[in-house]
């Protein structure tokens, strides 16, 4: 086989890249890579993502539009020397005649208070509890990881531990609960390996607030014939 020719007809040898003596082969799997670098002033200071809450906002806007439309129509009718609508006259009469300790007045006030508190809670809390904020690697970029995705990653890593037959993982905001079933090896050894493997996996997720790890290992129950 001839060597590649240069632009002027001369032969040129291809460059050879040599590996340093102390350099090791790196696996192409995701487990071989560590978490991305996090900004020094952004570690642990990320807040949760705010939910748009389109459905509650749409319902409230629609109700306010209907109520405002009815009142404006009734006021315009009264201004045009027409009698007020029957529902407004009946509502005014009921409010004037019923005492404050009436059961229907108390029910209406309770419903209004509950709805008001619900709207205040929605306005003051971020929501999106299913998205875990990740540490920032760039000041203008925010990233989040769904709990289900984090639980799937931890479950896959748990299944790589020798002796684990099945695993269930539930990731919360502050805690990752792992329940594994082992069909061989000592339970203490399996639990120790799971602690090490899952701790590394949680760190590799790059979360701003890594959840605490809780591992439970039980022996598989075999059915007797």
CB 119 within 8 A of CB 63: no
Kindly list the averaged pLDDT for each block of 10 residues, start to end, along the chain of length 225.
45 41 38 51 62 82 89 85 81 82 89 89 82 84 89 95 94 93 92 95 91 93 58
CB 211 within 8 A of CB 199: no
Please report the pLDDT score of residue 73 as a whole number.
Answer: 86
Please report the pLDDT score of residue 181 as a whole number.
Answer: 95
Please report the pLDDT score of residue 169 as a whole number.
Answer: 95
Please report the pLDDT score of residue 19 as a whole number.
Answer: 40
**Residue from 132, 140, 156, 128 nearest 206 by CA:** 132
Please report the pLDDT score of residue 141 as a whole number.
Answer: 82
Please report the pLDDT score of residue 120 as a whole number.
Answer: 86
CA 80 vs. chain centroid, Å, equals 55
Q: Provide long-range contacts, Cβ within 8 A and 24+ apart, for 210-216.
A: 211/132, 211/171, 211/172, 211/173, 211/174, 211/175, 211/176, 212/174, 212/175, 212/176, 213/175, 213/176, 213/178, 214/175, 214/176, 214/177, 214/178, 215/178, 215/180, 215/191, 216/177, 216/178, 216/179, 216/180
pTM given for the model: 0.60
Please report the pLDDT score of residue 118 as a whole number.
Answer: 87
Please report the pLDDT score of residue 27 as a whole number.
Answer: 33
């Amino acid at each position: 086989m001839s060597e590649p020719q240069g632009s002027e007809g001369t032969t040129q040898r291809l460059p050879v890249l040599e590996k340093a003596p102390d350099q090791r082969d790196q696996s192409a799997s995701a487990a071989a890579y560590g978490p991305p670098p996090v900004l020094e002033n952004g570690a642990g200071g990320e807040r949760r993502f705010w939910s748009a809450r389109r459905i509650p906002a749409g319902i409230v806007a629609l109700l306010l539009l209907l109520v405002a439309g009815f009142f404006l129509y009734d006021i315009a009718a009264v201004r045009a020397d027409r009698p007020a609508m029957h529902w407004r006259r009946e509502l005014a009469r009921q409010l004037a005649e019923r005492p404050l300790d009436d059961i229907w007045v108390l029910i209406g006030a309770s419903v209004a208070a509950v709805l008001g508190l619900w709207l205040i809670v929605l306005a003051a809390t971020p929501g999106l509890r299913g998205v875990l904020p990740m540490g920032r690697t760039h000041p203008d970029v925010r990233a989040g990881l769904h709990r289900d995705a984090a639980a799937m990653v931890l479950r896959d890593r748990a299944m790589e531990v020798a002796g684990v037959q099945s695993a269930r993982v539930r990731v919360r905001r502050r805690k990752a609960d792992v329940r594994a079933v082992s069909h061989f090896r000592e339970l203490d050894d399996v639990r120790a390996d799971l602690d090490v493997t899952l701790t590394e996996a949680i760190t590799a997720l790059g979360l701003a607030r890594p959840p605490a790890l809780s591992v439970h290992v039980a022996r598989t129950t075999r059915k007797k014939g």
